[in-house]
Structure 1
Amino acid sequence: MHSMNYNHLRYFWHVAHDGNLTRTAARLNLSQSALSVQIRKLEDRLGHPLFERRGRQLHLTEAGRIALDHADTIFGAGQDLLATLSRTGSPRKVLRVGALATLSRNFQIEFLRPLLGAQDVELVLRSGTSMELMQGLETLSLDVVLTNRVPTPDAMTDFMVHTLSEQSISVIGTPKRLDDTLTLSELLSTHPVIVPTSESPVRIGFDTLCARLGIDPILAAEVDDMAMMRLLAREDIGLAILPPIVVKNELVTGLLKEAQHLIGLTEIFHAVTVKRKFPNPLLSSLLERPVAAEGAWNQCASDRQKGLGNASVDT
């Protein structure tokens, strides 16, 4: 087996980070054609194209993204050779995770928990809109996207949706605000509520519930960020309509509590990937592992459910 020419790899590494062949050639004092030849030789050696041209821009192929990961490791190690030689073990692996900006941070932590603190793993975490994140999947700059919204089918992209968890939605509030003697209708009609914005599936379900109960709730806030809903609930401006995992720590400490009413709403969390010839090996264990719905307060919730028996939505 012939060895790799690392000069070819270095030229590729520079172009991949610059994203522009002409600019890289000028910086390295090479002609553009000479630089192109070096990259073609590397592609021939690896047996895969590393770039594809879209208009005037160069984009990494899937093989190119993998090659860049290895090149980063190889040339990064050269910058700290003594420290590298003093360590043992395999090269660090990288997982690039995108998450909807409004998604529960606690849920993201639960998904990533098996990799947290692993000495040979680097996590690259990005947040953004659905459009930004799906574009990241398409260009292979992300390995997986965490979301509570299934992406619109795209004829040009083969998105794969993995359902990770379906979590119940609860009425959350401070202990002094939640009166267990009130019915659900009385509770929601006498206290202001903090709800997701209208495009959220949870908000749609909540509005349907209120219509069925014949109540017109007082809205304290409409929020598109679960972290902000959590903070507003802690400020006691109203009752929040949330999955308990969002306020995991507050439920454990007693700062917030769940109402004793089942409202029959759930939120589904997904991981979205695209079909890849070389899938990231770190992903398989995460996608096969169910994400805990209620984490540290699971036993408390279980005890509450036992106390309710076969309870239904209060009217």
Structure 2
Amino acid sequence: MTELNYRHLRYFWTVARVGTIAEAGRVLELAPHSISAQIATFEAALGVSLFRRAGRRLELTEAGERILGHAEAIFALGDEIVAVVQDDALRRSLPFRIGMPDSMPKSVVHRLIEPALRVDRPGRLVCREAPLAELLAELAVHRLDLVIADRPIPPDISVRGYSTLLGESTLTVFAAPALAAGREGALPAVLDRAPFLLPGADVAHRAPLLQWFERARIQPQVVAEFDDSALMKAFGQGGAGFFVAPTTIADYVCAQYGVRAVGEIADVGSQIYAITTERRLSHPAMAAIHRQAAKALGSGADGAPPRGR
């Protein structure tokens, strides 16, 4: 009779959720070759192949798909057992862990998650910044409770989760007063051949913004690119170039950085998503964030169905 090794099952479950042995090794803090050996031992014990290679990633076989469903039920039950035995005092100290990419405007994130500190038994709020792929890998193995991002789960990342649209906003163009005063005209002409600070490649609204430049037949002079939105605003404050930010925080950007709003780009939007491993935002802190999004961001936060992967 084959006896199930739960450590092997955990390694299999992690690889299945993040898609590669290398990424699973980073999440589990183990050498990839060690995980490969343990998966091979697990497959030999079960007498079936669990994965097949698809390019650089691993796909589940039919047997792997069936076993993954049972593994998820097992570990979900384990989480419930832990929750049952923890008393109120301990629950108060449990962290609520939120991840966000560098590209997310910090003022928007602060506005959304600050109410999570005021819910009943909020626990300790832990915020982590990293590339979206890394955050989703940590979400998959429950090292994060929530990821707030400017896009849903990308189709090339094999993480099982749900993307809920919290809200969306148009973009506004900003500039330091001296830079704005030195240019004549209104949008879009004022940006033609003007110094411009472009969002980095990981920022979701970068591509729509570049397409808007083409439609408007203008060629801003891109002097710098930034993954970090706060650093981009700091350079904009110093007069390095025009830049964009969500219109919902226009007043804050002007007050905080001493810049001027030049105009609104009405047909280019910026979205914000809550990405979780649960279909429903049932945690009190998540519910508070969702309610705040409905107030602060408007459209998209009320009644938007989660997008599952």
Do Structure 1 and Structure 2 share a fold, with TM-score over 0.5? yes
Aligned length: 226
Structure 1 residues 293 and 285: alpha-carbon distance in aligned structure 2, compared to 1, 3 A threshold: closer
Distance in 2 between residues matched to 1:123 and 1:62, nearest whole Å: 23
Counting aligned pairs with the same residue, the percent is: 19
| 1:258 corresponds to | 261
**How far apart are 1:233 and its partner, in Å?**
0.8
Work out whether 1:215 is the aligned partner of 2:218: yes
SS at match of 2:153: coil
Q: Which residue of 2 aligns with 1:133?
A: 135
Indicate which of 175, 178, 181 corresponds to 2:177.
Answer: 175
* 1:66–1:255 Cα change, 3 Å: farther
Q: Which residue of structure 1 lines up, in the alignment, with residue 106 of structure 2?
A: 105
2:234 corresponds to = 231
Question: Runs of 5+ in structure 1 lacking a partner?
Answer: 1-18, 21-52, 55-59, 78-89, 295-315
1:149 maps to amino acid:
R
For 1:141, the aligned partner's letter is R
Matches within 5 A, 1:51-200: 61-65=75-79, 91-92=92-93, 94-116=95-117, 120-121=121-122, 122-153=124-155, 157-179=159-181, 181-200=184-203
CA distance 1:184–1:117, shift in 2 (3 Å): same
Alpha-carbon offset, residue 291 of structure 1: 5.2
Query: Is the Cα–Cα contact under 8 Å of residues 158 and 275 in structure 1 kept in the other structure?
Result: no
Shift of 1:201: 3.3
Distance in 2 separating the partners of 1:148 and 1:102: 8
One-letter amino acid of the counterpart of residue 289, structure 2:
L
* 2:130 counterpart letter in structure 1: G
- Secondary structure at the residue paired with 1:112? helix
Cα RMSD, aligned residues only: 3.6
Distance 1:253 1:106 in 2: 10
Per mean C-alpha deviation after superposition, the further-off stretch among 262-271 and 62-71 is: 62-71
Q: Note if contact 2:174-2:263 (Cα within 8 Å) is conserved in structure 1.
A: no
Identify the match of residue 285 of structure 1 among 284, 288, 295: 288
**Partner residue of 2:302?**
none
Contact 2:98 2:127 in 1 (8 A): yes
Q: Which amino acid aligns with 1:99?
A: M
Give TM-score scaled by structure 1 length.
0.60
Q: In the superposition, relative to structure 1, how do residues 217 and 130 fare at CA in structure 2: closer, same or farther (>3 Å)?
A: same
Q: Is the 8 A contact 1:63 1:278 kept in 2?
A: no
Secondary structure at 2:276 match in 1: strand
Cα distance, 1:248–1:92 mapped onto 2, change above 3 Å: farther
> Compared with structure 1, are the counterparts of its residues 130 and 250 closer, same or farther at alpha carbon in structure 2 (3 Å cutoff)?
closer
- TM-score, normalised relative to structure 2: 0.61
**Structure 1 counterpart SS, 2:97:** strand
By how many angstroms is 1:191 displaced?
2.1
What's the counterpart of residue 7 of structure 1? none
Q: Provide closer, same or farther for how the CA distance between residues 279 and 61 of structure 1 changes in structure 2, counting only shifts above 3 A.
A: farther
Letter in 1 for 2:233: R
**Separation in 2, partners of 1:155, 1:202:** 19
Q: CA deviation at 1:69?
A: 6.7
SS at match of 2:205: helix
Greater RCO (Cα-Cα under 8 Å, separation 6 or more): 2
Decide which of 261, 269, 272 is 2:272's aligned counterpart.
269
Q: Distance in 2 between matches of 1:278 and 1:64?
A: 20
Deviation at 1:67, TM superposition (A): 5.4
Contact 1:93-1:120 within 8 A present in 2 as well: no
For the residue of structure 2 that corresponds to 1:267, the secondary structure is strand
Question: Counterpart in 2 of 1:206?
Answer: 209
* Structure 2 counterpart of 1:164, one-letter code: L
